[in-house]
Copies of this chain bind each other. A is one copy, B any other.
């Protein structure tokens, strides 16, 4: 089903949809035959909602493929993650909440140490602390190019996001990080004639950076990799007729939401309560709310099974307040699985709950991987979630006579 097909069937409605994304929601039991994080968690409110909902599992990208957060979210938002790719540099810039625009070319940068002969001796400059990194970034910020604006944002320790803003930039560029020590940084090359301007500008910047950092220690040079521009995506308004808001703490998720045209709201603090408060505060102003929960993934990736269980229980505690708003459609889902036992993202299908007054409810008062694997929605590509949400919101007209 292509996007235009759906677009032509859209009908206006006053219904509201909430998509609650628990990052890395899917899990595995700590021992074979046991319960996953979600199954272990005490979730009376989600379980009660599950009883009135249809359950299923989502495949974010393709069977067996472990998605990053970018592809995982694009799929939930209804965009084929194999067609729309958000490169690593762009993700890095989004991750520090940089408002990446269509004229921007972003890269992952890091400070490194080179010897007097120009050979790299430490690719991470001893993982210098973030404040030391900030001082060096202040120095690099003095660099001016006649044809472009430059933005450098600290990430963590030796890492930063590098953004070049000018017209006509392209991301078909090689990387300067050779991935090994004992050799000089690689020359930056245009991999396609369209990227020649970009290569010239970045190389001008690199030359000046080298001079400016020459007397610093241990960080006396920089490496750039993962050059990327943002893909151009239709907005939620254009594609779904939805006036959409995003509630997320972390920059990367705020950035992906901005990319699909959501208005990104600013929580007062960094807690789950702060996020749900924002939902209440802006309830009357939007048709669609994306609310992102990060902690489930953070715990999964660090192998903290119990922490992930607790993070899920914290979400459960917010469900009553969510229901009090009487959303027409509620989706509880994840952008990918992050089982604590794997300490990483994984390929496993992700639990999905779809509530509306019009679902055929499974009548199963349990929200967990096994219940979802027997759910009536089946195991479906994640890009099918948005059409199902719109249908349940009575926002799609009949096709054909």
Chain A positions within 8 Å of B, measured between CB atoms, are 1, 5-6, 9, 28-29, 32-33, 36, 51-52, 57, 61-71, 81-82, 85-88, 91-92, 339, 341-342, 344-348, 357-358, 360-363, 369-370, 373-374, 376, 378-380, 384, 387-391, 396-401
A342 & B358 in contact (Cβ 8 Å cutoff): yes
B67 & A361 in contact (Cβ 8 Å cutoff): no
A400 & B67 in contact (Cβ 8 Å cutoff): yes
Shortest Cβ distance from A49 into chain B, in angstroms?
Answer: 11
Q: How far is the CA of A373 from the CA of B361 in the complex (A)?
A: 11
Q: How far is the CA of A346 from the CA of B391 in the complex (A)?
A: 8
A358 contacts across to B, CB distance below 8 A: 28, 339, 341-342, 346, 348
A81 contacts across to B, CB distance below 8 A: 399-400
Copies held by the complex: 2
With both beta carbons as reference points, the residue of chain B lying nearest to A374 in the complex is identified as: B374
Set B342, B360, B391: member contacting A36, Cβ < 8 A: B360
Listed by A's residue number, 20 A-B pairs whose Cβ atoms lie within 8 Å are: A1-B61, A1-B65, A6-B65, A9-B65, A32-B361, A33-B51, A33-B52, A33-B363, A63-B384, A63-B387, A64-B387, A64-B396, A65-B391, A85-B400, A91-B400, A342-B358, A346-B358, A347-B388, A360-B369, A363-B370
Q: How far is the CA of A70 from the CA of B243 in the complex (A)?
A: 33
Set B347, B361, B396: member contacting A347, Cβ < 8 A: B396
Q: How far is the CA of A62 from the CA of B386 in the complex (A)?
A: 12
Set B82, B373, B400: member contacting A360, Cβ < 8 A: B373
A362 contacts across to B, CB distance below 8 A: 370, 373
A401 & B360 in contact (Cβ 8 Å cutoff): no
Given contacts A66-B399, A67-B400, list 7 more A-B pairs with CB under 8 A.
A1-B82, A63-B384, A65-B396, A67-B398, A85-B400, A91-B401, A342-B358
Shortest Cβ distance from A51 into chain B, in angstroms?
Answer: 8
With both beta carbons as reference points, the residue of chain B lying nearest to A66 in the complex is identified as: B398
Shortest Cβ distance from A24 into chain B, in angstroms?
Answer: 12
10 tightest A-B CB contacts, nearest first: A64-B387, A68-B400, A64-B391, A373-B376, A91-B401, A1-B62, A71-B400, A347-B391, A63-B384, A68-B401
B373 & A348 in contact (Cβ 8 Å cutoff): no
B387 & A65 in contact (Cβ 8 Å cutoff): yes
A85 contacts across to B, CB distance below 8 A: 400
With contact pairs A348-B360, A360-B369, A373-B376 given, residues A399 and B32 touching in the complex (Cβ less than 8 Å): no
With both beta carbons as reference points, the residue of chain B lying nearest to A88 in the complex is identified as: B401
Q: How far is the CA of A64 from the CA of B377 in the complex (A)?
A: 11
With both beta carbons as reference points, the residue of chain B lying nearest to A73 in the complex is identified as: B400
Shortest Cβ distance from A121 into chain B, in angstroms?
Answer: 27
A401 contacts across to B, CB distance below 8 A: 68-70, 86-88, 91-92
B62 & A387 in contact (Cβ 8 Å cutoff): yes
A390 contacts across to B, CB distance below 8 A: 64
Q: How far is the CA of A86 from the CA of B57 in the complex (A)?
A: 34
A369 contacts across to B, CB distance below 8 A: 360
Q: How far is the CA of A387 from the CA of B64 in the complex (A)?
A: 5
